[in-house]
Copies of this chain bind each other. A is one copy, B any other.
Amino acid sequence: MDGSRIEDVGRARSLIEAGDFAGLAEFVAPLHSADLADILQQLEVEQQVQVLKRLDTGRAAEVLAELDEKSGSTVLQLLSDREVVALLEELPSDDAADLMSTLGPEKTERVEALLPRADREDIQELLEFGSETAGGLMQVERVAVRDDATVQDAIGVVRAAAAAQVESPQRVYVVSESGELVGFMGTIDLVLRTPETRVRDVMERNVVSVPVDMDQEQVAALFSRYNEFVMPVVDTANRLVGRITMDDIIDVIEEEASKDITRMAGTSDQEIGETSVFKVARTRLPWLVIGFLGEIVGAVLMSRYEASLAEFVVLVFFIPLIVATAGNTGMQAAVVVVREIALGQVAINRIGRRVFKELQVAFLNGMALGAMLFAIVYVWRHNAALGGLLWGSLLLVIFVAALMGSSIPLVLNRFKVDPAVAAGPFITVSNDVIGIAIYLTLASAYLRAH
């Protein structure tokens, strides 16, 4: 939020407090709904309601849809059932269903009773789909004609959809008698064709559609791949059941990126914007405990070499270095592989080749870092044998880290587990423990030899 927005919040607040609702109406009139929603979120909930009540219903619904889920839900609780119904009727079915899902069981029941039957059925249908599937993203507004309709009929459908404020009505889907999706027409095609033509004679038959149960991440990949602004959603019988618009896909892509990034760091995107310190701490603790327990195993491993380490404590100085370098290598490999999987750039038949590339990179960087370490140890401790031991250990540990960092996400993905979940703390802690084990094994062999 930049400076001018903070001023806007102050201005809105003082207008409300002064009871100057004419001034308030004038002030908010030129604002975009998204900006107005931003301002509202800085106000007290009673003030939010006062502003919303001064907007016409269409505008109020738009602003409501832009509020974050928590604020939207709080505001709705303070409105009467009739006011809620009026707002829901103004919204596209997907936004209406999202708001409905925050109402709580009692209010939902009362509001449903007041909704026109068609709207109620649409919303109930949408609420049955998983929120992270195509069904959860779609709106039921279909913008469709039968294949025996004329171009003139199709234009009528676009006009009606536009008049009803349906988003992106510029593509009309064509369905068969049984509701099967068979093609589409763009508004531009509609304008250029003779009105009496039958759509089935001029429609585009190659239509990319989305199965209603497809995961939202795959849906986003389809949008990105085909550069579409709107895509039709079909059920298992290829019947048209709804549409997804690209603006919802942008949210999905941002959400999926947040998920990947936070999971790899051992937490969850749930905590973004979470204000409860306890909830945040509880989200993070399990991952910290996993890392903690791994390092306890490391400590026990080290205790087995207690006598050797006490005698030759210089070995200890390099344990953090070995462990951290392995961790960094594993993380680099894991992150790139996870991202390539997310962008659909890893061929499933080329896992071996992908891992082999990481091993080559690890060899190059392991040799370079190992040589540096040898030189530093030689200058510092005048001990070439120790330098050699460290070079070899570092190379081996980096090699194992790269192998694990690249192969674990690929294997998880193959078994349909989100590769980002395990890529972070799991790989880091495994690398630490394995690194300590490799290093101490080599070191004790070295001590026996000297």
| Residue ranges of A at the interface with B (Cβ–Cβ < 8 Å) | 1-2, 6, 30, 32, 34, 158-159, 162-163, 168-170, 187-188, 191-192, 206, 208, 220, 223-229, 246-247, 249-251, 253-254, 257-258, 260-262, 264-267, 269, 271-273, 275, 277-278, 280-281, 284-285, 287-289, 291-292, 294-296, 298-300, 302-303, 306, 309-311, 313-314, 316-321, 323-325, 327-329, 331-332, 334-336, 338-340, 343-345, 347-349, 357, 360-361, 364-365, 368-369, 372-373, 376, 424-425, 428-429, 432, 436
Contacts and interface: CB of A to CB of B under 8 A. Distances in A.
A323 B320 contact: yes
B265 A224 contact: no
Contact of A345 (B272, B319, B328, B339): B272
A285 B371 CA distance: 13
Contact of A262 (B168, B280, B335): B335
Nearest to A308: B313
B376 A296 contact: yes
B320 A357 contact: no
Given A1-B344, A284-B361, A310-B313, 17 more contacts: A159-B192, A162-B192, A187-B187, A253-B254, A261-B264, A261-B338, A261-B339, A265-B336, A271-B336, A275-B357, A277-B357, A284-B329, A284-B332, A287-B328, A298-B317, A319-B319, A324-B327
B262 A253 contact: no
Given A284-B361, A365-B281, A226 B34 contact: yes
11 contacts: A258-B339, A261-B261, A261-B335, A262-B335, A264-B335, A265-B331, A295-B321, A295-B324, A306-B313, A309-B316, A324-B327
Nearest to A284: B332
A291 B273 CA distance: 31
Which of A6, A187, A306, A332 has the most C-beta atoms of chain B within 10 angstroms of its own C-beta? A332
